[in-house]
Amino acid sequence: VWVVGQSFMKEDQILKWPVKLIPSEPTLDNYVEIFTTPLSRQELSLLRWLFNSVYVTTLSTTGVLIVTSMAGYAFARLCFPGKNLLFFGLGASFLVPGVMLLIPSFMLMRALGWIDTHHALIWPPLAGFFGVFFMRQFFLAIPGELAEAAVIDGASAFGIYWRVFLPLSRPAVATLGIFTFLFIWNDFTWPLVVLNSDEMRTLPVGLVVFLGEYWSYQGIVMAGAVVSSAPVLFVYIIFQRQITRAVMATGFGGR
């Protein structure tokens, strides 16, 4: 409340004592400033970095949901040689701290020519193990009789996934989508490592530059913080019902 309130205040109102949570004369000047005024060191406004974050997060989250749902279904319901070995091998990679993978991942991005491009932010999350494990556990909780009935009706393996398992897994997909969205949106270290140019920055990295420019203007800084956190809150409010359903479904499946 304090951050949001100060984002709608002028500087003279912010500096008054006692501190007020609700502005007496609300103004949008701080938001107009961050969206229209270029920073002094480059002809970019916060709007450019906001667009980059939305673009990267949307594409990467969509890709993660597609890959992990299909991989989770394969590990849960399909039989193929080396399935368990491959699954546990992927699980072992999940135990490696992310900091240890930073340099090898950077070298791979450089070999692919993806340094200072959004490809370096969009594609790596698709190789994560958490989403595969999460979807696999959810698919295991779905009764096998549904798949058997679909086989009798002549459905293929992909048809069972697409027509039976995927519609039933909407709460799990929504939950995984929110977790993935939050992780990618708030990621700071990896974009800082692989992005060099100002116009390619995402919002968390750009905010560091932004705070350096406007550190003495508290209202503008608070407006930037609100803009950075607003999409996260919006996504959570929209999909909170799906999160509850996924948790309940997982609990019932474990009985």
- Cα 76 to Cα 88: distance, rounded to the nearest angstrom: 13
Element (H, E) at 151: helix 144-152
Element (H, E) at 158: helix 157-160
Please state the three-class secondary structure of 73-123 as a single string. Answer: HHHHHCCCCCHHHHHHHHHHHHCCCHHHHHHHHHHHHHHHCCCCCCHHHHC
Short-list 149, 120, 152, CA closest to 56: 120
Tokens 């909407």 found at: 170
In our burial notation (b when 16+ CB lie closer than 10 A, e otherwise), range 177-198 reads: bbbbbbbbbebeebbebbbeeb
For 43, the token pair is 């002809």
Average pLDDT of the chain is 84
What pLDDT shows up at residue 38? 63
First to last CA, the chain: 41
- Cα 121 to Cα 210: distance, rounded to the nearest angstrom: 21
In this structure, are residues 23 and 5 in contact, taking their beta carbons and an 8 Å threshold?
Answer: yes
Q: What is the DSSP letter of 163?
A: I
For 167, the token pair is 């519609």
For 182, the token pair is 């939050």
CATH architecture assigned to 2-253: Orthogonal Bundle (1.10)
What pLDDT shows up at residue 170? 87
Residues (pLDDT < 50) of the chain are 40-41, 252-255
Tokens 């595969």 found at: 132
What pLDDT shows up at residue 252? 42
For 122, the token pair is 């969009």
- Cα 185 to Cα 75: distance, rounded to the nearest angstrom: 28
Q: How far is CA 190 from the centre of its chain?
A: 13
Whether a cis peptide bond, with omega within 30° of 0, leads into 18 is: yes
In this structure, are residues 225 and 3 in contact, taking their beta carbons and an 8 Å threshold?
Answer: yes
- Cα 134 to Cα 170: distance, rounded to the nearest angstrom: 13
Give me the residue spans of the domains in the chain.
Answer: 2-253
Residues 233-253 pLDDT 10s: 887 787 777 667 666 655 544
What pLDDT shows up at residue 215? 65
Q: How far is CA 70 from the centre of its chain?
A: 19
